[in-house]
Amino acid sequence: MNEPNSITPKRKGFHSRIWIGSTLIFSLLFVFVAVSDIQAQNKNTAAQNYPSIIQNVYDFILRHYVDEVDPKTLYEGAMKGMFEALNDPYSTFLTEADMSDLNDTTQGSFGGVGLYISKPTGPKPDGQPPYVEVAAPIEDTPGWRAGIQPGDLIIEINGENTEKLTMDQVLSKLRGVPGTEVTILIRRGDKLEFPVKLTRAIIEVPTVKHAMVGSDIGYVRIITFTPMTTERVHQAINEFKKNNYKAIIVDLRNNYGGLLSSAIGVSDLFLDGGVVVSTKSRLPDENAVFTARKNPLVPTSIPVVVLINRGSASASEIVAGAFKDRGRAYLIGERSFGKGSVQQVYPIDGSGFKLTMARYYTPSDVNIDKKGIPPDREIKIPDLTEKEAEALNKLINDNKIPAFVKAEPSANQERIDSFAKQLSTAYGLEVTLLKRLIRDERNRTSIAPVYDLEYDIQLQEAVKVLRQENVAELLKSAKTLKQLQDESTAKEAAETLKKP
C-alpha cells in the first residue's frame, strides 16, 4: 500500500512545484485567451464560438483525464447538461433506451410477448428475491395465449436468472423482432415451475378500455394517446351504439398524455366543428389552430361526463379543456396536472432529444400550464392522515393481505368482510379501504374489471349525474376556463388593493 508520506518531502515538493507551475501557465493561458476573445467578440459572435469551446474541452478531457474516459459518457453528459440548463422538465436528452421506450408508445406497437410486468428494486417484504412479476397479460398476445397469469413470476429469460437484472435489461430480453423466440421460466405458487417458449409478435400498446355501465351508459377509459387511440375510441362508441347507449363517461384519469394528433382525433368524435386547441410559439411557423369536423360520431344530444384527476396531463388536458370550453361535457373529479406545452422529438444516431416547441391554448384561449383544469364538480379521493399512512405502511410491510389472498384464494365475501374487520381493529384503518386493497390484491391473480363501481367514488358520482341530473342544465351554468381565469385575476387584483 502506498502511503502519501512515503514520498520524500524534497521529491514531493519538486513535483508539486512542477504541477503548480504547469497549472498556473495553463490557467494564465486560458484566462488570456478567454479575455482576448471577450474583448474581440460581441455577444453574438461569442455564442457562435461556444460549440468550438465545448469541442476543445471535450478533446482535452479525452486526452488528459487521469483515467480513460468513454467518449459516449462525455457526449451523453454534455447533452443532458444542455437540456437541464433550460430548466424545463419536458425538454430532455433521450438515451437509446429512452428513445426505444418512447417509440414504443408513440408508434403504438412493438415486437414483444404481451405482458405487463413489474420488478422490485430490492427484496420483497416477504423476503423473496426480486424476480419479475406478471401484472397482467395483454389480451390476444403470445403471453396471453400461452396461459401466463397475473401473479406469475418470471424466474429466467433464455436461461438467465432475472433476480439481478434491471427492468431495462428485462425489457430488452423480452422484446425483439416479431417471429423470433424467447424462453421464460415461470414460477406459479410455491411448487409449480415450468418453461414457456414464446414467439414474439407485434404488440399494440393498450390505449383504450371500454364497457357498458348497466344498460344505458357507455364507459371508455383512455389510458394514453397513441396512433391507435382514435380508432379504438371509435370502435368503443360503435359498440355503445349497438347497446343503445344514452350517455358516455370518458375517463381520462391518470392519462399522462401522448400524441397531439390523437387528442385532436378523439375530440373530433364528440365536437360538432369549431376549435379543439391552438398552439403558439415564438416562431410564427409553429402557430396553428386545430378544428373539429361537423357531424361528430357521438351526437350532441348524448350527454357526456369526463373524469379527470391530478394524473391527467398534456393530451388528456387538451381533450378535457376542449370539452369544457365548448360546453360538450361535464367534468368531475380533481384538478388536472397542468402541462400546457407541446414537445417534438428529434432522433440523433439512436439517441435523441425532446424539446418544447410551443404552448397549447384551449378554445377560450387559456394556457393551463402549471395551473391545471378544475372540474365542474370536485370529488376528491380522501387523503390518508399521517397516522393512517404509517398504519398502511406497516400493513404493507407485514404482508398480511397478500398472505391472506394466497392462503384463501376462493374466500367468499363474508370471509373477506371478516378479515377486513380484523385488519381494521389491528391497524386502525377504514374497513372500506381494506376491502378495496383485498380486492386489488385478488385482481393481481386475475384479469381486472374495466371499471370499479363498488369503490370508485368519482365514477359513482358520474353515473349519478347522468342518471339523476340534467347534464344540459348543468352545462349552462358551467364556466369556461377563460371565465374562471378572469375571475381569478379580478379576485387577486381586489385582494392586492385591500393590502395597506
Specify whether 339 is catalytic. yes
Please state, in angstroms and rounded to a whole number, the distance separating the CA atoms of residues 130 and 124. 6
Cell of 468: 339523476
Q: What angle do CA 337, 343, 344 make, to 5 degrees?
A: 155
Please state, in angstroms and rounded to a whole number, the distance separating the CA atoms of residues 248 and 466. 9
Please state, in angstroms and rounded to a whole number, the distance separating the CA atoms of residues 192 and 231. 41
Please state, in angstroms and rounded to a whole number, the distance separating the CA atoms of residues 268 and 296. 6
For residue 334, is it left (φ>0), alpha (ψ between -120 and 50) or beta? beta
Residues sharing a CB contact under 8 Å with residue 269, sequence separation 6 or more, in sequence order: 230, 233, 234, 237, 296, 297, 298
Alpha-carbon distance values, 310 to 255, 324, 340, 392 (Å): 9, 17, 14, 22
Pick the catalytic residue from 91, 278, 314, 364.
314
Pick the catalytic residue from 312, 316, 336, 339.
339
Q: Which residue has the cell 444516431?
A: 349
Please state, in angstroms and rounded to a whole number, the distance separating the CA atoms of residues 340 and 281. 12
CA of residue 223 relative to chain centroid, distance: 10
Please state, in angstroms and rounded to a whole number, the distance separating the CA atoms of residues 497 and 500. 8
Q: What angle do CA 163, 168, 169 make, to 5 degrees?
A: 55
Alpha-carbon distance values, 5 to 1, 2, 11, 14, 162 (Å): 12, 9, 11, 14, 47
For 61-66, which contacts have Cβ atoms below 8 Å and span 24 or more sequence positions?
none
Cell of 376: 365542474
Least Cα distance to 481 among 372, 401, 382 occurs for: 372
Residues sharing a CB contact under 8 Å with residue 109, sequence separation 6 or more, in sequence order: 202, 203, 204, 205, 228
Helix ranges (H only) for 214-371 are 229-242, 260-268, 315-325
Please state, in angstroms and rounded to a whole number, the distance separating the CA atoms of residues 331 and 249. 10
Specify whether 316 is catalytic. no
Please state, in angstroms and rounded to a whole number, the distance separating the CA atoms of residues 356 and 344. 7
Residues sharing a CB contact under 8 Å with residue 290, sequence separation 6 or more, in sequence order: 264, 275, 276, 277, 278, 279
The residues that are catalytic are 314, 339
